[in-house]
Every structure is written in C-alpha cells, then in structure tokens.
Copies of this chain bind each other. A is one copy, B any other.
Amino acid sequence: MKPNFSLRLRIFNLNCWGIPYLSKHRGDRVKRLGDFLNMESFDLALLEEVWSEQDFQYLRQKLLPTYPAAHYFRSGVIGSGLCVFSKHPIQEFTQHVYTLNGYPYMIHHGDWFCGKAVGLLVLHLSGLVLNAYVTHLHAEYNRQKDIYLAHRVAQAWELAQFIHHTSKKADVVLLCGDLNLHPKDLGCRLLKEWTGLHDAYLETRDFKGSEEGCTMVPENCYVNQRELQSFPFGIRIDYVLYKAVSGFYISCKTLRTTTGRDPHSGTPLSDHEALMATLCVRHSPPQHTPSPTHGPAERSQLISVLKEAWAELDLGMAQARWWGTFAGYVIGLGLLLLALLCALAAGGGVREVAIMLWTPSVGLLLGAGAVYLFHVQEAKGLSRARAELQHMLGRAREAHDLDPESQAALFLGQQEGDRSEEQ
C-alpha cells in the first residue's frame, strides 16, 4: 500500500419502511429507491426494514449492474429486514441475532417476530480490510414509559461486543443502521464508548440536510406527527458511525440527508430519511494519530456509562423476575382450578359447567407456562449482558485506579456515577 494511499467511500443508509400490505406506496418507493441507488452508484448501500424478500430480489435484479454483490440477512420468523448492496465483492458475511428482542405476546409491536440482528460484511478494498455492520434495534413505542428500554440497552451492548470482538483485525469499521436511539440515549453512548466509533453527523464539516441531522422529520408525509410532538425538528435515530484502526485515519468529508422528500420527485422514499456519507480513509499522518481510546478521561466516561447500563439491566432483570413470579402464581392458581373442576365433574351436579371450563383452564395453564419460560429466559439474557458489563466495569476501574492521572477525573465523575452504583 502506498504511503499516500487514499480511499473514498460513498455510503448510503435507509430504513425503507417496507412492511407488506401496511406501508404506503411500498412498490413505488422501492422502485424509486432502486433508480436512485443506480443513479448515485454508492460504494455500499445498507438498508433496513426490507421486510419482504421479494422487494430484496427485485432490488437485487435492478441493481445488479451497479452493485454486483448483495446479501439479505435472514432471521426470526419474518426476517431481520437488513440487506446490503455493494459495488465491491463481499469477502465474507455473517450475522448475530440479538438474544433479547421484545415479547412474543406483544404481537401488535411485532419486533419479537423479526429476529432483529446485526449483519457483518468483510470487504477488501485496495488492500484495506473494511468491516461494515448494519443493524436495526428494537423500536421505541413510548418514550415516557418504555417497556423495551432494558432490551434495547442489552442489544446495544451485544452490538458493541459483536463489533469489538469481530473487528480486531479490521483497518476500518463502519456501522450503519436504525438504532432507535437518540444521540444522548444510554444505548447510543454505551455503543460509542465501548467501540470508539465516531458519529458522522458530529464529525463532518460539510453537512447538508434536515435540521439537526434528524432522520425522522415532521415534513415527511409518512411520519406519524403525534410521535414527533415533543420534537419540533424531528428525531435522529439513524446513524453512520465509523472508526479506523491500525495506522489508518478516517474522516467524513460530506454528509447529506434527505429532508422529508425524494431527492427528485418530491415524495419521500420512506418514513425515515436517508443518510449519504462520503468517507475518506488514508494512512494516519503523525498529527492525526488518534488519541488513545482509553485515556483517563475516556476511561472515566466509559466507567460512568457502564455503570448506568448495569443499573438499567438490573432494573430490567427485576422486572423480568417479577413477571416470572407472577406467571408462577397463575400456574399454581390454574392447577388448583383444574383440580377443583375435576372434583366437580366427578361429583355430578354442575358437571357440564365443569367440563366446559376445563379446557380454558388448561389453556390458561399453558399460556402462563409459556409466559413463565419466556421471562426466565429474559432474566437469563439480561443477566448475561449484566455479567459482561460488570466484568468490563471491574477491568476499567482497575486500569483507572492504576493510573495516577485518573484520580481527578474519577473524583469529578463520582457524584454523577454514584446515582447508579451497583449494589
């Protein structure tokens, strides 16, 4: 690789809102998305919410001349909704399905059935190894009373861990997707602190697009305006994040978003806005050597966010256990009811009523059994993430304590951190 090596990468990301039968003008939007991607000829287009595999196959055919490589990440009952189109050959791909992803009985929310995941692509570009990740985390349906918060934090941690462990030999790491997290949300901070990824919107000097980089904006006719009531400019939940390792330097030259309208015809491509980033990778000159990811100040921030995540997962575990116990009581009650009904049926008198009630009782018992098993599994999943967090927290603290420079930073951060201190 030459010392003046430089690589320009044009990246496209969009949550396509492609729910069969439910999303408005889906066919037309997919067609126009294909035309747009063909015209723009990005290096990599990463898409979320392509729920119909037929849509992916349609795009694959349409984009074949411009993007010879493509992959659809299959998962869950419905599918992860994730897919990618690449101008460059894909060397390898794999995926990781999140352990926790909502509740099967929340059918109207549907996330559980999607098997939400993170997809990984390995690309070799001019001798440089690029690990590109695409993901979509659990949706947020009620920001004031978010019953999925612990699951989303656990997903953010699993995502961060997956990137951390699979990108150790990559030169450049890229993560695109709909995180369903606002920039200052716990999950987003956890992900960025643990992986060292940078946010294209915050890093670029050349941004054009929606106000404050929002990716769901009130101007978009497909957006439910009630959901954005508290956010006059909209919300930023879709991201292009990146970092370079091992002697490379990466910067975001330009970042563009759509602004609630199709770039050409005036009607939007989706209910989310598309992100279009131009990244530039080059050999790291001495003045650009990135600061150590885990210096005293960074370590202090990391400790603080790990503690916060630990506390959130702990709350989630208590909730999961409460539901498990509740389902356990219902099972006990169901068993008692069954025994009573058997006795009544044997004794005559209200025999017919007893026989009629027997089946719903068995149904209640089976339902409560399923809920019990689900929440036991949920508690185990949260406990697993909490154990990993706790271990890394311990290690970060050890490193922090060994470093004399850290003491002042630690002292400053202590007051805030104590709020969510583990027991």
Nearest neighbor of A391 in chain B, beta-carbon distance:
B93
Is the pair B94, A161 in contact by a Cβ cutoff of 8 Å? Answer: yes
Is the pair B165, A77 in contact by a Cβ cutoff of 8 Å? Answer: no
Nearest neighbor of A157 in chain B, beta-carbon distance:
B94
Is the pair B384, A95 in contact by a Cβ cutoff of 8 Å? Answer: yes
Nearest neighbor of A386 in chain B, beta-carbon distance:
B74
The answer for the CA separation of A44 and B91 in the assembled complex, in Å, is 35
Q: Which chain A residues in 357-385 approach chain B with CB under 8 Å?
A: 359-360, 362-363, 373, 376-377, 380-381, 383-384
With a CB–CB cut-off of 8 A, which chain B residues contact A377? 76-77, 115
Shortest Cβ distance from residue A214 to the other chain B in the assembled complex, whole angstroms: 33
Partner of A373, one of B75, B77, B99: B77
With a CB–CB cut-off of 8 A, which chain B residues contact A380? 74-77, 79, 115
With a CB–CB cut-off of 8 A, which chain B residues contact A74? 380-381, 383-384, 387
The answer for the CA separation of A380 and B381 in the assembled complex, in Å, is 22
Q: Which chain A residues in 37-52 approach chain B with CB under 8 Å?
A: none
Interface string of A152-188 (1 = CB under 8 A from B): 0000000001000110110000000000000000000
Shortest Cβ distance from residue A189 to the other chain B in the assembled complex, whole angstroms: 20
- A288: Cβ under 8 A from any B Cβ: no
- A241: Cβ under 8 A from any B Cβ: no
- A255: Cβ under 8 A from any B Cβ: no
Partner of A92, one of B363, B376, B392: B392
Interface string of A267-309 (1 = CB under 8 A from B): 0000000000000000000000000000000000000000000
The answer for the CA separation of A73 and B94 in the assembled complex, in Å, is 22
Partner of A391, one of B79, B92, B381, B391: B92
Is the pair B169, A166 in contact by a Cβ cutoff of 8 Å? Answer: no
Shortest Cβ distance from residue A231 to the other chain B in the assembled complex, whole angstroms: 35
Which residues from chain A sit less than 8 Å from chain B, CB to CB? 71, 73-77, 79, 90-97, 99, 113, 115, 120, 161, 165-166, 168-169, 352, 355-356, 359-360, 362-363, 373, 376-377, 380-381, 383-384, 387-388, 391-392, 395
